[in-house]
């Protein structure tokens, strides 16, 4: 999925846009994404892609786009800017990196909470990244393709292992030890998610994280109604991701998070779903806290 689809996305915000305007917008998005070098820029982009009512998220993006596209509006047209941000987020996810992994992990929160992105392709791009990159990152450590990595067991080469291979082996041994030695009484999905995240070496996470968490929970089919999530004792994670990064602006990230406001979902949410999302949030916090 590339910005070849940008004209289709842009038409959701602007009726019958001119080809020249779309070309300027697309070039500005490409240039802005290529210039992203910090966590703050990533978090701004994610915030602007999912919410139209947060001027703090959008101001930096609007200025960056306008610097390359002087015809972009100075103010207003919030949904147009959201479409531009979502397009930029998809472009960022096309090139795997630590920052693109952070973008995918943080984006998983509003998607899990039911926040509707400006177009479905963004949801698909985030899901695809979180599905494919855990395998690709470990395959790269072993110098294999993703298909070969899935099909063949990993073993040390005849020569001394590389640092990446040692990291992969260390991660594997840590996770196996955790699965077999975790306290049998521990059934809190958020605590288990945090423990597994602390043993993860590659972003955006383990490629069998959901299976590991289901095994750790033991009762993978058990469900909890959204109203019961407050019993998990730890405070909501997603709601605090941005406030922890921007301590001077508690409203930087809207409180639509997956674990805040009792989810406000009518469906049942499985404990494994909660654990998987908490695992992603813990990884995002580890990235934010470690860089």
Residue-wise pLDDT tens digits, 44-64 = 889 889 876 554 556 777 887
Mean pLDDT of 249-268: 40
Domain boundaries, the chain: 3-135, 159-290
Phi, psi at 147, each rounded to 5°: -65, -45
- End-to-end Cα separation, the chain, in angstroms: 29
Residue 268 is inside which H or E element, if any? strand 268-270
Q: Which of 110-124, 125-139, 182-196 has the highest mean pLDDT?
A: 125-139
CA distances from 289 to 9, 47, 209, 278, 286 (A): 34, 19, 21, 16, 5
Q: Is the pLDDT of residue 132 over 50?
A: yes
Residue burial 48-86, b: 16+ Cβ < 10 Å; e: rest: bbbbbebeebbebbbebbeebbeebeeeebbebbbbbbb
Mean pLDDT of 225-243: 43
Q: Is the pLDDT of residue 215 over 70?
A: yes
- In sequence order, the β-bridge partners of residue 224 are 269
Q: What is the pLDDT of residue 203?
A: 93
Cβ atoms 194, 278 nearer than 8 A: yes
Q: What is the pLDDT of residue 56?
A: 54
Mean pLDDT of 67-72: 80
Give which of 27, 37, 117, 114 is closest to 72, Cα–Cα: 27
Q: Is the pLDDT of residue 286 over 60?
A: yes
On average, the pLDDT of the chain sits at 76
Predicted confidence band of residue 280 (pLDDT cuts 50, 70, 90): very high
């Amino acid at each position: 999925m590339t910005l070849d689809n940008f004209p289709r996305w842009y038409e959701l915000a602007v009726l019958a846009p001119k080809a020249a305007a779309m070309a300027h917008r697309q070039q500005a998005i490409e240039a802005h994404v290529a210039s992203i070098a910090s966590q703050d820029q990533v978090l701004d982009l994610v915030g602007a892609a999912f919410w139209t009512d947060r001027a703090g998220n959008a101001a930096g993006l609007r200025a960056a786009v306008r610097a390359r596209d002087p015809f972009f509006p100075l103010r207003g047209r919030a949904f147009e800017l959201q479409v531009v941000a979502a397009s930029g987020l998809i472009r960022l996810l096309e090139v795997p990196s630590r920052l693109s992994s952070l973008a995918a992990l943080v984006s998983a929160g509003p998607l899990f909470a039911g926040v509707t992105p400006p177009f479905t392709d963004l949801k698909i791009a985030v899901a695809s990244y979180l599905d494919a990159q855990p395998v690709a990152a470990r395959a790269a450590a072993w110098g294999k393709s993703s298909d070969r990595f899935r099909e063949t067991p990993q073993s040390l080469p005849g020569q001394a292992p590389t640092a990446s291979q040692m990291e992969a082996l260390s991660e594997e041994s840590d996770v196996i030890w955790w699965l077999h030695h975790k306290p049998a009484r521990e059934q809190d999905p958020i605590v288990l998610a945090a423990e597994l995240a602390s043993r993860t070496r590659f972003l955006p996470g383990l490629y069998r994280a959901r299976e590991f968490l289901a095994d750790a929970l033991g009762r993978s089919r058990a469900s909890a109604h959204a109203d019961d999530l407050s019993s998990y004792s730890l405070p909501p994670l997603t709601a605090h991701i941005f406030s922890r990064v921007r301590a001077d602006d508690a409203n930087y990230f809207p409180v639509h998070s997956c674990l805040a406001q009792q989810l406000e979902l009518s469906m049942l949410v499985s404990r494994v779903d909660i654990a998987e999302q908490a695992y992603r949030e813990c990884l995002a916090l580890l990235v934010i806290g470690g860089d």
